[in-house]
Structure 1
Amino acid sequence: MSEALQHIKALAALLPDAQRSAHAYARSVDLFSGADEIEAAHESGRAYVAATRMALLQSEVSEALQEIRSRTLDLAPDARRPDDALSLELADILIRTLELSEYLGVDLGAALVTKTAETLSGYRHGGVRF
């Protein structure tokens, strides 16, 4: 087994707890105020709430992109601090991804291992190089 896959498997083992914690965190700060009512009140409520969470994830990616587009941001790896704007936006992306995975019942760790193994075996979506 490749070293990369070994590391991914180690990370995957931590993700179920991380997903539950991200979901609990989101609830504790009322990140999705009104979502339970929307889900219960409408036939497509769960899909609507999931789509809203996905849109919020997309907005975090847009915020990270905006930080990268900034002319004042030093993109050298040694310039990264845990409290700089880009680092915090990437943390938001991870939190929202973990929370959405928990909400949808996705075993993100298992999916990560599967995707990594496929990629290491030469699989490329659409046959493109990057």
Structure 2
Amino acid sequence: MESNYYTLKRTDNQLILITHLSQLLTYVTGFGGLIVPLIIWVTQKEHVSGMDEHGKSILNFQLSLIVYSLISIPLIFALGLGILLLILVAILAFVMPIVNAIKASNGELPSYPLSINFVS
């Protein structure tokens, strides 16, 4: 007889909250904002209820920020539009993880604006 022990997922809003806030490591290390949430998501998506949805949203957002940053580089030479895009990316990269961490602590699903769906 097969056990249901492995199919049960625990509720851990604190870990999901930490996963969202770990994106802010980019401001400290320059690269941790993608790597740490990726590691948490990959290791915990089967064990924590809601982690799969939150992790995918975080990864899609982080990858989108990278794409927008890369697009902004050549736009810097076009009337400085790239600088405005970089400022917008920096603001979103700082504010949205905090907003979604608060949502996660309340058990709500995340919403990241301008996020391209890379991981579904």
What range is the shorter-chain TM-score in? 0.3 to 0.5
RCO greater where, 1 or 2, for CA within 8 Å and sep 6 or more?
1
User: Which has the larger helix fraction?
Assistant: 1
TM-score between the two structures when normalised by the length of structure 2: 0.35
TM-score between the two structures when normalised by the length of structure 1: 0.33
